[in-house]
Amino acid sequence: MLHAVNLTKKYQEHLALDDLNLSIEPGDIYCLLGANGAGKSTTINLFLNFIAPTSGKAVIDKFEVTENPQATRKLIAYIPENLVLYNELSGLENLEYFVGLAGMKYHQEQLVGFLKEAGLQVEAYKKRVKAYSKGMRQKVGVAMAIAKRAKVLLLDEPTSGLDPKASNEFSELLLRLSKQNVATLMATHDLFRAKETGTNIGIMKSGKLVEQLSTEEINHSDLEKLYLNHMSN
Amino acid sequence: MVNLNIRHELKLLSRNFWFVSLSLVLVLLCLYAGHNGLKHYERRTADQQEALAAQQAKEQLIKEVALTLSKGEEHPNAYRLSPMNLAISTGRLGTMPATQMSKLAIGQSDLYTHQLKIALNEDLATLSFNELNNPVQLLFGNFDLAFVLTYLVPLIIIAFTYNLRTRELESGRLKLLASNPIKINLWLLQRFIIRYFFLLLILTAILLATVLIARTGFSMQLLVFFLLTYAYLAFWFAISYLANLLGRSSARNAVSMLSLWILLVLVVPTVINQAANTVYPMPSRVKLLNEIRQTKKELSKEQNKVLDEYLRNHPELISNKGENAYGYWQGYFASQELTEKRLAPLIERFDAQLAKQQRWVNAWGILSPAVMFHDGATRLAGTSSAHYEQFKDYVRSFSLNWRAHFMPFVFKNEMLGLQELDNLPEFQFRSRSRTAGVFMNISVLLVFSALTVIWGLALEGKRQLI
Ligand SMILES: Nc1ncnc2c1ncn2[C@@H]1O[C@H](COP(=O)(O)OP(=O)(O)O)[C@@H](O)[C@H]1O
Ligand SMILES: [Mg+2]
């Protein structure tokens, strides 16, 4: 579903992403680990076509993103670390607008259904987003993904700053979407959740993907050792 | 996406405290400006009515004298029917009536005269130049609707559009928006167009209320005034759209938009104004007045020669009473005409310079949308410099007429009778509407707006918009 083929991004002389090759299939939850500046966001931005690759290709469902950005964005739902919505609007109104931009039209009840599915408490639907916690806003983001019927989820540190309960709820939502054959690429610092939720793990360092493994192959403490090992040299 | 964005913008704007309160302020400003315009119109009209009434009273009195005399009776005021009295002390009152539309754009009418007495002894040369010589209308002056629209509405547009994209960029929301299958510059254009029409609707309602307050009535000019306003708004929206696409931060956008406002609304008009004076300087007025005095002095030394020459040019005025029939006034008019003839080249230079300045201003005014708008508004209102120029021309030609009409009586030293009184030339000035020229202003504004928008659209793919 998601493929990076020799994907490279250079800023002047600085290699932000160096010859990345990876494949993510429907139902996969691929967790990208790495220190700040490793190139995780760069990877996600390339799939979103927010930035153009210096060389190589980012492919989503057979479309190369630079050639078909509109078609690929129809398939994508994106949740950044800090999901900023329109504060003057309610969660429901925000959902309606963003889903509308994706070209989807729903009745009010359907939209409410998506928010419910994303786990947002009922009292919040019609409250202005200004009063929302970060976790609540992330849930609206998930509701957008559900409503958009996204086949690909691109998540850039979505659980940073969430409390453990909210973080746990978020993981459960990901698992549910994964069962519906959504392919997920998530940048994260949370090794524990990556192991718990992810199907695959990639470790990045200075723009290079230095390790790829399946979460079934490894236990928590080995993953931590491996990660710290990579970070220290 | 259009419907979606319309609903979205309506929600955002109606929940925006600043937008709602600034709209209310705009309502108050416009209504006050309309009220001001109405007061100004009423004052000017009342002044003219008063002067006209006084003039009519004078003429009525003269008619009564003529009536008495026509019955063969005597009248102590019989002298009033002498050509000198009628042509000089009674004279004619020339007025430039205010148009209904002048309530909306008073222009510089404070600086011009709208009524003046036309009498036989006035020098045409000085008559023409005691008016302001500068063809550029200052944009500020009276607090009228045109002022509010020229100055304040662009600021309101800037306030509500300067960060339409950069705010999304800075908050990080732009990425969330752009993760959907939309083109950012088209999406932004839609938001701008929606806000444009939104403001247009609000402003139309406000303008209609203002028109009702000012009681201008409905006319073709009013319709064109609305169109001109819409075109002016479009320009500011277009510029703000481009600034949003080019700018990387809201703060910088605000600064550049305000700088542009200062440049286009304040600096450019002033520079054009000054440059017109520098490039086509007016000959000295003092020198002209001196020349007139000098020429008159010279001519007075040779009164007889002057009168001879005058009569050679106007054989129809020769009196059958012989040389002795001519006194002071005949000599005066003869030398007046000769003075004007001799000074004609000098006066023409004034006129030519003024015309050149006017052309210069018309040509370079294109650089400032504020000039385009304000010029258009005053043209529609009959308060443009062109209108005052036209009034001046009419006064000049009427004065010539007035003179030509009286000369036979002056030279034959004949009193006027009842019938002659009815045949005196009437001063009838009506400003021609200049609606046609205003479409040029509207086109210029629209072309600039369109080019700006096209530039913005062409940035797709060439510039990092997310
Ligand atoms: N617009 C940019 N211009 C220059 N360098 C950039 C830009 N964006 C990211 N980088 C650099 O690219 C590298 C990768 O950044 P990023 O992908 O954001 O890392 P992270 O893994 O923390 O998300 C970093 O060294 C960063 O400094
Ligand atoms: Mg990052």
- Taking only the tens place, the pLDDT of each residue in B390-426 is 888 888 889 888 888 888 888 887 888 888 888 889 8
* Contact list, A58 vs chain B (CB under 8 Å): none
Q: A44 alpha carbon to ligand 1 midpoint, in Å? A: 11
pLDDT category of residue B357 using cuts at 50, 70 and 90: confident
Structure tokens at B413: 């030293």
CB spacing of A88 vs B16 below 8 angstroms: yes
CA-based nearest residue to B99, from B58, B38, B147: B38
DSSP state, A128?
A: B
d(CA A170, CA A174): 6
Q: Which of B12, B172, B182 has the CB atom closest to A101's CB atom? A: B182
CA-based nearest residue to B392, from B97, B114, B107: B114
Query: Which amino acid, one-letter code, is at B200?
Result: L
Among residues of chain B, what percentage have pLDDT more than 90?
Answer: 46
* Residue A45 alpha carbon, nearest atom of ligand 1: 17
pLDDT of the residue at B138: 56
Mutate to test the pocket of ligand 1, among A11, A20, A46, A54 (most ligand atoms within 8 A of CB): A11
For residue A128, what is the nearest residue in chain B, using CA coordinates? B15
CA of B188 vs chain A CAs: smallest distance (Å):
12
pLDDT of the residue at A54: 94
CB spacing of A84 vs B15 below 8 angstroms: no
Whole-angstrom CA distances from B286 to B282, B289, B347 are 11, 5, 13
Q: A34 alpha carbon to ligand 2 midpoint, in Å? A: 9
Least confident of B34-43, B120-129, B411-420, B456-465: B120-129
Three-class DSSP category at B320: coil
Question: Is residue B315 scored above 90 in pLDDT?
Answer: no
User: What mean pLDDT is predicted for residues B76-103?
Assistant: 87
Burial environment of residue A156 by CB neighbours within 10 A (0 to 12, 13 to 18, 19 or more): buried
Strand-pair category, A183-187 with A14-24: unpaired
Question: Is residue B59 scored above 50 in pLDDT?
Answer: yes
Question: Is residue B458 scored above 70 in pLDDT?
Answer: yes
d(CA A205, CA A191): 15
SS (H, E, C) chain B: CHHHHHHHHHHHHHCCHHHHHHHHHHHHHHHHHHHHHHHHHHHHHHHHHHHHHHHHHHHHHHHHHHHHHHCCCCCCCHHHHCHHHHHHHHCEEEECCCCHHHHCCCCCHHHCCCEEEECCCCCHHHHHHCCCCCCCCCCCCCCCHHHHHHHHHHHHHHHHHCCCCHHHHHHCHHHHHHCCCCCHHHHHHHHHHHHHHHHHHHHHHHHHHHHHHHCCCCCHHHHHHHHHHHHHHHHHHHHHHHHHHHCCCHHHHHHHHHHHHHHHHHHHHHHHHHHHHHHCCCCCHHHHHHHHHHHHHHHHHCHHHHHHHHHHHCHHHCCCCCHHHCCHHHHHHHHHHHHHHHHHHHHHHHHHHHHHHHHHHHHHHHHCHHHHHHHHHHHHHCCCHHHHHHHHHHHHHHHHHHHHHHHHHHHHCCCCCHHHHHCCCCCCCCCCCCHHHHHHHHHHHHHHHHHHHHHHHHCCCCCCCC
* Contact list, A93 vs chain B (CB under 8 Å): 11
CA of A119 vs chain B CAs: smallest distance (Å):
20
* Contact list, B8 vs chain A (CB under 8 Å): 97
Ligand positioned closest to the Cα atom of A20: 1
| Closest Cα to atom 25 of ligand 1 | A37
CB spacing of A84 vs B173 below 8 angstroms: yes
The position carrying tokens 């080995």 is A222
The position carrying tokens 């973080």 is A167
pLDDT, greater one: B465 or A152: A152
Residue partners of A21: CB distance under 8 A and separation at least 6? A4, A5, A6, A7, A209
Domain boundaries, chain B: 2-24+146-268
Question: Is residue B76 scored above 90 in pLDDT?
Answer: no
DSSP state, B109?
A: G
What is the per-residue pLDDT across B243-262, written as a single tens digit (0 to 9) for each?
Answer: 999 998 999 999 999 999 99
pLDDT of the residue at B83: 85
**Residue from B11, B20, B179 whose CB has the most chain A CBs within 10 Å, to mutate:** B179
Interface of A with B (CB under 8 A): 48, 50-51, 69-71, 73-74, 76-78, 80, 82-86, 88-89, 93, 97-98, 100-103, 141, 154
CA of A73 vs chain B CAs: smallest distance (Å):
5
Among residues of chain B, what percentage have pLDDT more than 70?
Answer: 94
pLDDT, greater one: B166 or B122: B166
pLDDT category of residue A75 using cuts at 50, 70 and 90: very high
d(CA B388, CA B96): 9
Ligand positioned closest to the Cα atom of A51: 1
What is the per-residue pLDDT across B120-153, written as a single tens digit (0 to 9) for each?
Answer: 777 765 665 444 445 455 556 788 999 999 999 9
CA of B257 vs chain A CAs: smallest distance (Å):
25
Residue partners of B329: CB distance under 8 A and separation at least 6? B84, B410
Q: Is B177 part of the contact surface with chain A (CB cutoff 8 Å)?
A: yes
Q: Is B466 part of the contact surface with chain A (CB cutoff 8 Å)?
A: yes
Q: Is B4 part of the contact surface with chain A (CB cutoff 8 Å)?
A: yes
CA-based nearest residue to B137, from B177, B169, B95, B108: B108
User: Who lines ligand 1 at CB under 6 A?
Assistant: A 11, 14, 16, 34, 36-42
Give backbone dihedrals phi and psi of B384, rounded to 5 degrees, phi first.
Answer: -80, 165
In this structure, which CATH number among 3.40.50.2300, 3.40.50.300, 3.60.20.30, 3.40.830.10 belongs to the domain A1-75+182-233? 3.40.50.300
User: What mean pLDDT is predicted for residues A201-205?
Assistant: 93
DSSP result, B41-94? HHHHHHHHHHHHHHHHHHHHHHHHHHHHHHTT---TTGGGGSHHIIIIII-EEE
- pTM, full prediction: 0.91
Would you give the end-to-end CA distance of chain B in angstroms?
A: 19
Give backbone dihedrals phi and psi of B117, rounded to 5 degrees, phi first.
Answer: -80, 130
CB spacing of A89 vs B12 below 8 angstroms: yes
Q: Is B16 part of the contact surface with chain A (CB cutoff 8 Å)?
A: yes
ipTM for this prediction: 0.94
Mutate to test the pocket of ligand 1, among A10, A12, A17, A41 (most ligand atoms within 8 A of CB): A41
CB spacing of A48 vs B175 below 8 angstroms: yes
Q: Is B173 part of the contact surface with chain A (CB cutoff 8 Å)?
A: yes
User: What mean pLDDT is predicted for residues B297-311?
Assistant: 81
* Residue A17 alpha carbon, nearest atom of ligand 1: 14
The sheet with strand A200-205 has its strands ordered as A76-79, A152-156, A183-187, A29-34, A200-205, A208-214
User: What mean pLDDT is predicted for residues A96-115?
Assistant: 95
Average of per-residue pLDDT values in chain B: 87
Q: A103 alpha carbon to ligand 2 midpoint, in Å? A: 28
CA of A79 vs chain B CAs: smallest distance (Å):
7
Whole-angstrom CA distances from A168 to A165, B314, B330 are 5, 111, 111
Question: Is residue B16 scored above 70 in pLDDT?
Answer: yes
Question: Is residue A126 scored above 60 in pLDDT?
Answer: yes
What is the per-residue pLDDT across A210-223, written as a single tens digit (0 to 9) for each?
Answer: 999 999 888 888 99
CB B33 within 8 A of CB B144: yes
| Closest Cα to atom 27 of ligand 1 | A37
Strand-pair category, A200-205 with A208-214: antiparallel
Least confident of A16-25, A179-188, B164-173, B333-342: B333-342
CB A35 within 8 A of CB A41: no
pLDDT of the residue at B134: 52
Q: A36 alpha carbon to ligand 2 midpoint, in Å? A: 6
* Residue A36 alpha carbon, nearest atom of ligand 1: 22
Average of per-residue pLDDT values in chain A: 93
pLDDT, greater one: B341 or B133: B341
Structure tokens at B452: 């700006």
* Contact list, B13 vs chain A (CB under 8 Å): none
Q: A9 alpha carbon to ligand 1 midpoint, in Å? A: 10
pLDDT of the residue at B132: 45
